[in-house]
Structures are given as C-alpha cells and as structure tokens.
C-alpha cells in the first residue's frame, strides 16, 4: 500500500473519509486548540505571579532607597533627582500615579507590581523568538511557557515588585527592548525599529545600567547582522543617544563625579559577590539551574547538538556582558549589586527555559515540577527591612500635636519620615538631619537643633515639655542636647532588627516641684489629662519617680510592686472610669525603678460597668497607689494622709 493509500485509509477510519480538504481543517483546529491551551496556561502563570507579588506587598516597612523615593514627594522633584544617581522617568511617572492612587504603601508599591506582571508576558514573547530556529515544539510545556513560569517564580522579581523603586520598570523596558530587537532583526520594519528605539529610551530614562543592554545590542548586531543592517542598528542606537542627551548633558556630571568610578579597584567585586549573585539568580539548587542555563545555550535538534542561534547568542550576551563590565568598571555605590543588575533576570529565566526545552516532555515535566516546588517554598533573594511602622505604631497614640519629634538614624531618616507623617498628629513638629538633602551636619546640630529644643520649652510652657527621639546611630549629639536642656528619658519602646535593638524614647522636661509622694516612696512628679472627655476617650498621663530622702539610700527601691490607678469621679463621688496597672503600660514594675529615674505612665481610662457614655457634668480626676498583701488591697496614702491625690477636674 502506498503512503497516499495508507493516509486515505487512516482518514476513513477516523470518519473523515477520503476528503483531502479535511486534513488542513484538522490541522487548523489542532493549532487553534494549542493556542487556546497556551493562552490559558499563560493566564494561570500570570495569576500565580500576581498572587505571590501582591501578598503582603504593604507589610514590610520602607527602607533606605524607598525612603529616598518618598523624599521626592516632600521636596522639589528635579532638585532631588539631580542629587541622586538615577534618571527621572520612574519618579515622574510615580508622582502622576500617586496623584491618582494616593500615597499608601500599597498604592505606591503597586506601581512596581504592575510592570513585573507585564514582564512575564514579554519574556514569553522573547522565548518564542528564541526558539524560531529550533525544531517545532509539540510538548505542552513549551519553552515560552516555561520561561514565563520561571519569570513568575523569580525571587528577584517577586521582591522588587514589592519595593518602591524603579527596578521592575527597568526590567520591563529591557524585556521590551530585547523583544523588539529580535522582531526587528527577523522582520525589519519602521514599526519594529520605532518600538525598539522607544523601549531602549524608556530603559535609559529609568536606570543608567540599561546602557549595558544597549552595548549588547550593538555588539550583537555587529557580530551577526549583514552590513546594511549593522549600519541601521548603529543609527538606531545613536537615535537613542540623542534622545537621552538632554538629560545627560543637564545633570549627569552633577550626579556622578569622576572619583566615583574606577577600573578594577572595587572591593565588593570579588568571589563573595559572585556567590551572592549565584544565590540570588540561581538559588540553592544552583548546580541544577546553572547546568540547565548552560544547556540552554545549545540547541538539541533531532538528537543533534547545534551551536547557539542568533537569538540565543543575544540572550547569553545580555547575561554575560553586564556581569563582566561591572567587574572591570567598579563603582562605590554598587553595594546593592543585585538591585543594579536586576536586568539579568531576563537572560537567566530564558536560558533556563531553553535548557529545559532540550528535554523530552517527561523530562520537562520532572524538571519544571522540581523548580516550581522549590520556587514556591524557598526564598533566595530578600532584604530584611527595619520595622519602622511597628516601632512608630507603639508610641503614636501618646504623641500630641504640640510635641517635638526627633530622629537620629542616618540614611533611614526619610523612610522613618513616612511613618511620622502618616501615623502622628498632623501638626506635630518633626525634625532630623536630612540625609537626602544638603549635607551640612554642623549647621544642623550647632545652628538649627539648639533653638529648636529650647523653643519647645516655650511651646509647652504650661505643661510637661515632651520630645520624642528615635535613635539608631553612633552620633550622640541630639541626645546630649536633650539632656543638656533638662530633658530626661521617661519611657522606651523598641523593635528588633537582625539581632539589633532599635529604641524610641520619650524625653520629658518636668516641673521642679513634685505633686505628691505616696507611702512607700513613689513620687508623682507630674500629671496631665491628655485627651478630651467629649470623645469618651480619656487618657491620664502620670510621671513617677522614686523618692530620695535621708532615710533611704540612693539606690533604694520599693520592696513591693505597687499598682498605680487613675480614675474619674462624678459629682456624687461615684467612680465612673478607671485604669489600674503597673507603670509604663505594665512594662515597669515599681521594683524595677532606680533612684532618680522618671517613668512615664499613661492610663487610658475605661468606663465603669453599665456605663456606655458619660453624661454632661463636672468630673474629678484622681490618682491612687496600692499594693496587694495577703490577698487584700492595701492603699498607700499620700503625704497628706489622703487615700488618693486629685490632679484636676474636667467638664463635659
């Protein structure tokens, strides 16, 4: 039987008969079904990426670099960028986005989340271009799908998608540049040329390190394209240079000093950096992933190994040249090596996909399953950020609008400032050395800070004078000036970060004369009613110290833990609200007091049982001290013999 006869017989058995026109119809339907499956799979990958990137996107606090991004909202944007080392496109687009979406952490970081999803779709297209010179794929796990999946699981992209910086936008622009270059290389047209130029220009206006990719395009064109196309590529790259020239000529020399760059003298560009690079891009399974990437350079067609195609060579150069260049030309600001070379994610995931694509369907399934399980259970690229939000949230309820808030935390100042601005009262006075502004340290500490602290005494002349102080630095100038002006620390809140304790202090300047002393040695140094009764949200602030007398040694402490109580009496002497606790929100038992120490003790009163709202009238605010002895309450009277001290009256 001839081949033709066998084909007709097979068609007959399938019910199609000998109708030769049915065969193209079947092929079209099969091709359409394949595209539908591919599209559905790509959508599932995008949903996976969206879920992993959006989860807890507003959880970690801002850190140094994100703090600078927030700083640009508080100053002239152009001036801020001139003092920075990044191009303007991301910042100007973010400011437009913020005007529409608001300045919550979720909204601001969402501007980094969006391009990270788009990059997955573009990487899918890059991989499609890369396999055009290979055999046709019939496997369900095609190279483009695997490339998209690897991009979705990439730790770097997941991390940077949750950061208030420009890196995911840079990756997107360079992914688009690579795709458009491959399209232009295969089908030269004005549209493809224009798209390539636009994407390259967007990349350069987003991050200067994008120039490394432009170098790759130029080298690749010179190595692989015909003479005429070489000239066209050089002209198009020159157009990009012309388009970015205005910004470069205007600010580049102000952003980068000649002393910032050097050849072969960067201490961080060493084997340890390479190990960090290997961990970040290839993970703990790096022997497997690196071998797959190397295997992806070659194409296996019909059981034969072929040299890299033009597209594969481009992918290799996009990974190799930036890495080699940063080793040759070092820079003092390359501490965050992975951030600056985020563009390497593109060649890494495509080479991984190409390597997996050299296996048959069963092998692909095994490899992809292993990488997916590893990717969703392991994090290889993450930066632990200082929990500024948690720290500020602890003491924010006790900050009043007439207080002074200071910080001495170095470059984290702007990141902390976001939480000052969003968690503290609007009118509170905030001051710190502006790390991202003009750096005149002496002018701040010697000229601005002293009158600021002295002026706070006048601002709160009729009350306890308060300054809040967040401290994470070796510089003690701010603390010394507070102490020198009579302020004393009265309470401390802390957070832990990488084994380091970061404190926030309340400093108070108290009246010289105490209000009263209770039996047992506790002295009520001062008391204030800190909230309006109209809201039924009444807080009483107390300051305690240990009495020093001739009968007591300087280091004496009470032998028993006392309970301090603030309460509210109505006109009939009935108690209508109270709070009983150990001082400092229960954190400082009186047995822990040291002589001369002052302890802040805020009491947020709770309404008595059966009272849902205080009726209009005059109320007395009082303070009491007692202890438990033998299961009974023993009241400590005041120096005047009273059971409690009246500290004021309020009227509703």
Residue 15, pLDDT score? 44
- Residue 332 phi, psi (nearest 5): -70, -15
CB atoms within 10 A of CB 10: 10
Mean pLDDT score of the chain: 87
Which residue is associated with the tokens 């290997």?
Answer: 278
Per-residue pLDDT of 375-397, as tens digits, reads 989 988 888 999 999 999 999 99
- Residue 197 phi, psi (nearest 5): -60, -45
| Residue 359 tokens, joined | 């296996």
pLDDT band at 31 (very low <50, low <70, confident <90, very high): low
Alpha carbon 595 to its chain's center: 43
Length of the chain: 652
**Edge-to-edge order in the sheet of strand 516-517:** 516-517, 522-529, 539-546, 598-604
Query: Average pLDDT, stretch 151-157?
Result: 94
CB 325 within 8 A of CB 279: no
Residue 476 pLDDT exceeds 80: yes
Alpha carbon 646 to its chain's center: 48
What is this structure's pTM? 0.87
For 40-44, 76-80, 129-133, 390-394, which range has the lowest pLDDT when averaged over its residues?
129-133
Per-residue pLDDT of 539-570, as tens digits, reads 999 999 987 543 444 445 556 789 999 999 99
Residue 578 pLDDT exceeds 90: yes
């Amino acid at each position: 039987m001839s081949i033709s006869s066998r084909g007709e017989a097979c068609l007959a058995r399938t019910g199609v008969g000998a109708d030769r026109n049915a065969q193209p119809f079947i092929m079209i339907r099969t091709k359409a079904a394949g595209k539908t499956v591919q599209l559905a799979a790509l959508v599932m990958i995008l949903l996976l990426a969206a879920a992993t990137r959006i989860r807890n996107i507003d959880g970690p606090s801002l850190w140094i670099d994100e703090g600078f991004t927030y700083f640009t909202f508080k100053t002239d944007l152009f001036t801020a960028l001139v003092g920075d080392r990044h191009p303007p496109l991301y910042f100007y687009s973010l400011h437009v986005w913020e005007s529409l979406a608001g300045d919550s952490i979720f909204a601001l970081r969402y501007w980094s989340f969006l391009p990270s999803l788009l990059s997955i779709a573009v990487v899918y297209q890059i991989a499609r271009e890369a396999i055009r010179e290979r055999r046709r794929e019939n496997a369900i796990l095609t190279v483009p799908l695997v490339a998209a999946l690897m991009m979705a699981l990439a730790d770097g992209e997941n991390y940077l998608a949750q950061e208030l910086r420009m890196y995911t936008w840079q990756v997107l622009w360079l992914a688009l540049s690579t795709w458009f270059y491959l399209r232009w290389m295969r089908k030269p047209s004005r549209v493809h040329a224009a798209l390539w130029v636009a994407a390259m220009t967007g990349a350069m206006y987003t991050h200067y390190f994008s120039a490394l990719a432009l170098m790759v395009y130029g080298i690749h064109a010179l190595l692989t394209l015909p003479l005429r196309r070489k000239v066209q590529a050089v002209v198009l790259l020159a157009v990009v240079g012309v388009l970015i020239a205005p910004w470069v000529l205007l600010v580049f020399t102000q952003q980068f000093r000649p002393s910032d760059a050097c050849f072969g003298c960067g201490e961080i560009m060493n084997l340890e950096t390479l190990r960090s690079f290997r961990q970040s891009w290839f993970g703990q399974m790096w022997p497997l992933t690196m071998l797959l990437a190397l295997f992806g350079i070659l194409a296996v067609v019909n059981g034969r190994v072929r040299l890299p195609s033009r597209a594969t060579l481009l992918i290799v150069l996009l990974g190799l040249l930036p890495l080699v260049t940063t080793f040759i030309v070092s820079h003092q600001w390359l501490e965050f090596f992975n951030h600056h070379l985020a563009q390497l994610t593109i060649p890494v995931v495509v080479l991984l996909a190409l390597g997996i694509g050299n296996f048959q369907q069963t092998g692909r399934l095994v490899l992809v399953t292993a990488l997916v399980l590893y990717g969703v259970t392991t994090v290889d690229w993450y930066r632990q950020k200082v929990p500024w939000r948690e720290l500020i949230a602890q003491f924010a309820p006790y900050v009043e609008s007439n207080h002074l808030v200071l910080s001495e935390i170095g470059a984290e100042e702007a990141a902390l400032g976001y939480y000052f601005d969003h968690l503290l009262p609007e009118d509170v006075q905030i001051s710190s050395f502006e790390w991202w502004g003009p750096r005149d340290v002496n002018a701040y500490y010697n000229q601005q800070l002293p009158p600021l602290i002295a002026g706070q005494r006048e601002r709160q002349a009729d009350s306890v004078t308060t300054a809040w102080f967040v401290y994470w630095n070796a510089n003690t100038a701010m603390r010394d000036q507070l102490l020198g002006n009579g302020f004393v620390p009265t309470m401390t809140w802390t957070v832990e970060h990488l084994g380091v304790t970061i404190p926030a202090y309340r400093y108070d300047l108290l009246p010289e004369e105490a209000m009263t002393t209770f039996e047992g040695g506790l002295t009520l140094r001062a008391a204030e009613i800190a909230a309006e009764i109209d809201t039924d949200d009444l807080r009483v602030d107390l300051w305690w110290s240990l009495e020093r007398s001739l009968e007591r040694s300087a280091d004496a402490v009470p032998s028993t833990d006392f309970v301090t109580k603030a309460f509210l009496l109505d006109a009939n002497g009935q108690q209508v609200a109270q709070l009983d606790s150990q001082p400092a929100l229960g954190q400082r038992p009186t047995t822990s007091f040291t002589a001369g120490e002052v302890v802040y003790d805020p009491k947020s009163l709770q309404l008595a049982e059966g009272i849902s709202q205080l009726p209009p009238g005059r109320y007395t605010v009082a303070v009491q001290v007692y202890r438990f002895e033998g299961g009974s309450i023993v009241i400590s009277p005041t120096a005047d013999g009273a059971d409690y001290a009246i500290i004021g009256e309020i009227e509703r």
